[in-house]
Structure 1
């Protein structure tokens, strides 16, 4: 990363902080800007600015969001400042999808901070931020389509399984491994986009077409081969079998176990790619701030499942599937040369995480749970308002 680019990032971070800080904290923003300007080393100045940003931005965002949440809940009474963050947290955890969007956005920003510290090309940062916008756009479009009924879900699952099989048979290869499709000069990994969505949707809608789709996906993972995604299948379906076993889960689990065994037979010798693989370790070698950014971003990915498990007993199978999927992706990245989801370079996992939020309930309140179907399609989710309203 060039010296001029680092100083531009410092200026951009300071401007963002000052634009977000409430009036009472504006002097802190000016102090950080002046201190960063006084540091002669550009790398040290960037690290100081990012550290200050991580320290003050949560409080600044909390102050701004309080004005958004106060009006809908009828909160016109002044509250002690210590309750501000709790008000926002309580409002967010009642909306699992909105909470997931907040976690995804925060994780992407933390990953961007890591890549900026590591000196990654500016294009890498743009790809991840662009994937975040694409993921949210697709999520909102599919959220609208989901209200039209359940008929589209079976076809969508079969189409996604077909795309995974097509990737295994006709995708771009490296050392005999076919996991990618190149589009516009970018390498896209369809399994990271489609498989999480298929698995989380399968946790709440199980029938013959959905089971056939999962079995076909397992075959595709064996053909590619992709040991990490095959392990994701096994871990998620094992968790579902423990939570709520039935013949559909057992059939899908058997196919996924055979797929994972097939991937173990063939050696996976792909080398680690900079800013993509093994960054959970290399980031700490770079700087403690970079390592904490990567670790914090990965932890955020499972927050919706943890909170959903505690609050929504009747929907626990859905949250278990969601958590198992992304825990498996993190575990694979920690143990082998597989993409570090969301915080590493690559838009596939970012889009996949956004799409997998579609299968989460919109609300986790007791009323929503009482009326939610026990085993319904994505299209049968409670119609409690558009996702854009939940985000507000």
Structure 2
């Protein structure tokens, strides 16, 4: 019970478990549906890469966050201008024999980071990201940006959120006016429907894996009453990705084939506070002392 109680105070640690669980459920779906075995290897490899990146210690502070958001926005703009193009759509970068989608890797991290460090430079980076989504164009990611910033504006009600929201709405409007002719790719898009065509168990695995992605946001929202913005942003980001996958021919995050969303999900956990409700009153001295001795690594071992 001590481990479970401490885990509930660490949505980031819970997110690691949820990411692994969603990948496993996605593998189950793909095995039942008859996907190529290399697809399974790609998803497992992406999870390993994400966890390796998550284990790194990153610098903190407004200046670093501003620089990181600007750099990621530049990468998204470069993808729109010089990325791999398919029928007029430039959303991918080819690395060796793989095509990765930088927006799925970087945009969730940018949004969650912005929710905690809103500044003029960070706002400029988000506006540049909105322009990149219009340039690619990527209706799914542009919609994710709009929904996330609507949520932040409701919670934070500051000038930076409003300016970023206006830019995201403009970018989304551009994507609506541009053609998006790409068909659904098997095991990547329309998974929430095609999985049930393969087998009821495959469909249940896909839906359950998608639901797991929202657990860290729910836990963080309940536990982190003093700082709910990052959890709201995180939850909205991945809910928007799931909704886009259900409504159009866009990648189904984590449970479908593709490493970009897996890496993006794990990286977006980096922007969450390590501990929810850090400023809340501790229930008891004993619980506080016990909780302080449990690191995320210990929690993962205990939950496993």
In 2, the alpha carbon distance for the partners of 1:386 and 1:93 equals 13
Partner of 2:149: 237
Partner of 1:369: 279
Aligned residue for 1:145, secondary structure, equals coil
Partner of 2:44: 129
Displacement, 1:386? 6.6
With over 3 angstroms needed to count, the CA separation of the structure-2 counterparts of 1:384 and 1:326, relative to structure 1, is: farther
Q: Where in structure 1 do 4 or more consecutive aligned residues deviate above 3 Å?
A: 86-89, 383-392
1:253 aligns with 2:253: no
With over 3 angstroms needed to count, the CA separation of the structure-2 counterparts of 1:126 and 1:213, relative to structure 1, is: same
In 2, the alpha carbon distance for the partners of 1:93 and 1:146 equals 25
- Number of equivalences: 291
Displacement, 1:390? 5.1
Given the two structures, how large is their TM-score scaled by the length of structure 1? 0.72
Q: Is the 2:65–2:117 Cα contact (8 Å) retained in structure 1?
A: no
In 2, the alpha carbon distance for the partners of 1:127 and 1:235 equals 30
Q: Is the 1:140–1:387 Cα contact (8 Å) retained in structure 2?
A: no
Query: Which residues of 2 match residues 16-55 of structure 1 at below 5 A?
Result: none
Higher relative contact order (CA 8 A, sep 6+): 2
Summarize deviations over 1:90-118 as a string: whole Å, max 9, x none.
Answer: 33212111000000000000000111111
With over 3 angstroms needed to count, the CA separation of the structure-2 counterparts of 1:327 and 1:166, relative to structure 1, is: same
Displacement, 1:206? 0.5
In 2, the alpha carbon distance for the partners of 1:270 and 1:118 equals 22
Which of 117, 120, 131 is equivalent to 1:205? 117
1:138 aligns with 2:53: yes
Q: Is the 1:362–1:384 Cα contact (8 Å) retained in structure 2?
A: no
1:191 aligns with 2:108: no
Given the two structures, how large is their TM-score scaled by the length of structure 2? 0.92
With over 3 angstroms needed to count, the CA separation of the structure-2 counterparts of 1:190 and 1:251, relative to structure 1, is: same
1:342 aligns with 2:249: no
Larger radius of gyration: 1
Displacement, 1:296? 0.2
Summarize deviations over 1:321-374 as a string: whole Å, max 9, x none.
Answer: 000000000000000000000000000000000010011111124xx1359xxx
Q: Which runs of 5+ in 1 are unaligned?
A: 1-85, 372-382
Aligned residue for 2:55, secondary structure, equals helix
Displacement, 1:152? 2.3
With over 3 angstroms needed to count, the CA separation of the structure-2 counterparts of 1:385 and 1:361, relative to structure 1, is: farther
